[in-house]
C-alpha cells in the first residue's frame, strides 16, 4: 500500500539549504542543498519515522492546506 504525504519546503535564510517538513507526521523534518536531494531525504525521513513510531500511536488526520492573502 502506498501513502501520500504533504511536504512543505522552505529555504533556510542562513544556510540557504532547503528544509522539508512532512505535514502529516509531526516532527518529521529534513534538509538538503537542492530539491533532488531533499526528495531523497524526505523519503528516508518518512521511512524512519514510520518504522520508529510507537505501535498503535495515532497519526493526525490531514485535513488540507490553505493559502491566505492579507493586505499590509
Residues 6+ away with beta carbon under 8 Å from 11? 17, 18, 19
3-state helix/strand/coil string of 24-50: CCCCCEEEECCHHHHHHHHHHHHHHHH
Residue 57: predicted pLDDT: 80
Q: For residues 2 and 9, give the distance between their C-alpha atoms in angstroms, rounded to a whole number.
A: 22
Nearest to 35 by CA among 13, 51, 20: 20
What does the pLDDT look like over 33-71, one tens digit per residue?
Answer: 999 999 999 999 999 999 998 888 888 888 888 899 999
pTM summary value: 0.82
How far apart (Å, rounded) are the C-alpha atoms in residues 46 and 24? 10
Amino acid at each position: 500500500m502506498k501513502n501520500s504525504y504533504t511536504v512543505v519546503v522552505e529555504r533556510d535564510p542562513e544556510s540557504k539549504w532547503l528544509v522539508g517538513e512532512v505535514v502529516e507526521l509531526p516532527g518529521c523534518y529534513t534538509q538538503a542543498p537542492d530539491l533532488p536531494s531533499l526528495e531523497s531525504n524526505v523519503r528516508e525521513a518518512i521511512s524512519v519515522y514510520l518504522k520508529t513510531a510507537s505501535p498503535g500511536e495515532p497519526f493526525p488526520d490531514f485535513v488540507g492546506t490553505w493559502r491566505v492573502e492579507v493586505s499590509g
